[in-house]
């Protein structure tokens, strides 16, 4: 008996994004399976961030559709659309924390927007989420300017997890971090993915992070996406993929991959 096909949490079909005469995506398809960490890579100008904005509904494509948990975002409005958007968490490349708010207040924002909670509950939930990402309670009273780059990434992750989503979108989560901090973030992501049963879509250029965390990878080339298991992508003959994964940095990352001698 054949194994059942994996359930897709995110389904992108036929996406076209064009800015004047520049075609960024031309019929791009993408599937993200439940419970996996799916990495999205591509060269500069390939439209990784444009794709993320399209999936999140921040960018309207010229054609194509995006479904999250079976819901076509273009067909949703009002409360139905807000409900879908509350079902996932997002972190952006530089954290996107509000500099005038404390760490606790940043983490509490999604909770406040979702509905009224007593102040004591907000404080307790913020502390719980900060502990979940490895930050001590005394971090709550600090402001973003007082944090290291790694701590900012973790606060942004705590905020993304505030509403207990099962789907996470991460935009360059290890960008700007030193190798030790980046490795620690990867280990945190793997721990959270396993313990909270998360599905993760991660845009990244960090080869170490790809080899450390990703189950499958989607590569944006020639305005389309080539998706496969990590092993399949590494063996793909496309010239850009070969150069990216088999260059000096790619070979080093492959050698450091967990489970290799």
Is it the case that residue 5 has pLDDT exceeding 80? no
Non-local (6+) Cβ contacts of 234 within 8 A are 245, 246, 254
Q: Is the dihedral of CA 6, 50, 210, 43 positive or negative?
A: positive
- Give the pLDDT confidence of 74-130 residue by residue, as tens digits: 888 888 888 888 889 999 887 789 999 999 999 999 988 877 677 778 889 999 999
Note if the pTM is more than 0.85: yes
Q: What is the 3-state secondary structure (H, E, C) of 9-43?
A: EEEEEEEEEEECCEEEEEEEEEEEECCCEEEEEEC
Residues of the chain with pLDDT > 90, as a percent, come to 69
Closest CA to 49 of 234, 253, 205: 205
Q: Which conformational region is residue 42 in: left (phi greater than 0), alpha (psi within -120 to 50 degrees), or beta? A: left
> Count of residues for the chain?
261
Average pLDDT along the chain:
89
- Give the pLDDT confidence of 126-142 residue by residue, as tens digits: 999 999 999 998 999 99
Q: How wide is the angle at C-alpha 182 spanned by C-alphas 107 and 214, nearest 5°?
A: 90
- Paired tokens of 88: 């996932």
Confidence class for position 246, pLDDT limits 50, 70, 90 = confident
Mean predicted confidence (pLDDT) in 27-55: 95
Q: Work out whether strand 8-19 and strand 63-68 pair parallel, antiparallel, or are unpaired.
A: antiparallel
- How do the domains of the chain map onto residue ranges? 99-148+155-163
Instruction: Round to the nearest angstrom and report the end-to-end CA distance of the chain.
Output: 35
Please state, as a whole number, how many other Cβ atoms lie within 10 Å of the Cβ of residue 8.
17
């Amino acid at each position: 008996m054949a194994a059942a096909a994996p359930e897709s949490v995110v389904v992108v079909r036929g996406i076209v994004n064009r800015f004047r005469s520049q075609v960024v995506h031309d019929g791009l398809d993408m599937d993200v399976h439940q419970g996996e960490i799916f990495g999205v890579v591509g060269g500069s100008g390939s439209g990784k961030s444009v794709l993320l904005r399209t999936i999140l509904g921040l960018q309207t494509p010229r054609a194509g559709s995006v479904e999250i948990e079976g819901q076509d975002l273009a067909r949703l409005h009002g409360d139905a659309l807000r409900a879908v958007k509350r079902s996932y968490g997002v972190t952006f490349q530089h954290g996107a924390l509000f500099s005038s708010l404390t760490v606790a207040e940043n983490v509490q924002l999604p909770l406040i927007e979702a509905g009224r909670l007593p102040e004591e509950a907000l404080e307790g939930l913020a502390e719980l989420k900060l502990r979940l990402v490895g930050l001590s309670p005394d971090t709550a009273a600090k402001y973003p300017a007082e944090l290291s780059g790694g701590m900012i990434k973790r606060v942004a992750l705590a905020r993304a997890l505030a509403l207990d989503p099962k789907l996470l979108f991460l935009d360059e989560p290890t960008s700007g971090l030193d190798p030790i901090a980046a490795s620690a973030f990867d280990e945190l992501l793997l721990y959270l993915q396993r313990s909270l049963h998360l599905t993760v879509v991660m845009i990244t250029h960090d080869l170490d992070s790809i080899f450390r965390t990703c189950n499958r990878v989607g590569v944006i080339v020639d305005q389309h996406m080539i998706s496969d298991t990590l092993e399949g992508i590494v063996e793909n003959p496309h010239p850009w993929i070969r150069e990216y994964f088999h260059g000096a940095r790619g070979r080093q990352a492959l050698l450091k991959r967990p489970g290799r001698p």
